[in-house]
Chain A
Amino acid sequence: MDKDLEKLSALYDGELSYKEIQEGLDKMREDQGLKETFHKFGLISELVQRQTKQNTSKLLFFKDYLIKVNPVMSNLFTAAATVLITLIILYQFDDDRFQVDRESSLQLSSAISSDEAKSQLLDAIKI
């Protein structure tokens, strides 16, 4: 039975040989159940195709809507993104700069207060 229905499904899709199509049509003529199933394949197909079309239409509508409001949206997004990127870059650079300064000053003060520096200073005074 399943083999017959599988053939019916292929007949629906037009994927049988000429001879098989003839056989399929003959079987359908005699069997009301096969006719009903064939019709239901049509119902399923219609539903799936229509739903897909509707969903695609909704997406296209949203796309069109975005294009229409694009100038405003685009300006807002561009401004926000610019401010954000600027802040991030500035903060990053400042942070780097402060770190370098802090390190330099620490190095400088440790160098000044080191024993080596003191002895070099005393030697210079002696001269």
Chain B
Amino acid sequence: MGVSKGDEVFVNEIKAGNAAAFEAMVLKYQPKLMSSLIGYTKSRDQAEELCQKTFIRVWQKIDSFRGDSALFTWIFRIGINLAKNDFASSFSKRSKITDSLDQNEHDVPEYLSPETELIAMESEDKIMKFIQTLDADTKTAFTLREIDGRTYDEIAEILKCPIGTVRSRIFRARQLILEFINQENIING
């Protein structure tokens, strides 16, 4: 699977030096990368450090991204390679990696907060149960997008409805989930 239409625009903008596009990409993929790195390292602190290093690398190496794979796959590969280096390398080697990243750190747009929000694990079931309570049309559109990764065009075709309806149903689902999260106060730092 290659890069999606939306990510392609992000990548082109980042290559052109658009810091806002880079920030948006980080905001979009940071939760997924953090979750994957926590799974890999079994340590939140280590995952946070690696997450930051990864996005710094992404900023530095974005020109080498050819779009053969999905953007997140490429980001994730960088993260895993950095994690492997961290595990395998001697202390001196690790220092080298950190140093080489630090040397270029001033070039990276200021965006990265060391605190990474994650949804509290004990609240995950609550949210999943809440999603089940969404009305069928909203839930179907949301699920086709988030789980099946379908485009709005494909969802409109499947549900036999206009693309604008798909867009508003997906937004409605997200809005309701966000309201639920805020109401239950279930995002922690």
Which A residues contact B (CB, under 8 angstroms)? 2, 5-6, 9-16, 18, 21, 25-26, 28-29, 35, 37-52
Contacts and interface: CB of A to CB of B under 8 A. Distances in A.
A42 B28 contact: yes
Nearest to B166: A15
A42 B151 contact: no
A61 B4 CA distance: 31
A28 B20 contact: yes
A69 B145 CA distance: 37
A42 B35 CA distance: 11
B32 interface: yes
Interface stretch (B59-67, B83-91, B92-100, B167-175): B167-175
B127 interface: yes
Given A25-B13, A47-B124, A50-B35, A9 B171 contact: yes
A43 to B, nearest CB: 5
Given A5-B175, A14-B5, A35 B23 contact: yes
Given A14-B7, A25-B13, A47-B124, A39 B20 contact: no
Interface of B: 4-10, 13, 18, 20-21, 23-24, 27-32, 35, 117-119, 124, 127-128, 131, 145-147, 151-152, 167-168, 170-171, 174-175, 177-178, 181, 187
A73 B52 CA distance: 50
Nearest to B128: A51
A6 B152 CA distance: 13
Nearest to B5: A14
A46 B145 CA distance: 13
A52 B124 contact: no
A116 to B, nearest CB: 73
Nearest to B29: A42
B138 to A, nearest CB: 13
Nearest to B178: A40
A52 B124 CA distance: 12
B27 A10 contact: no
Contacts of B9: 14, 18, 21
Contacts of A40: 178, 181, 187
Contacts of B128: 47-48, 51
A44 B175 CA distance: 11
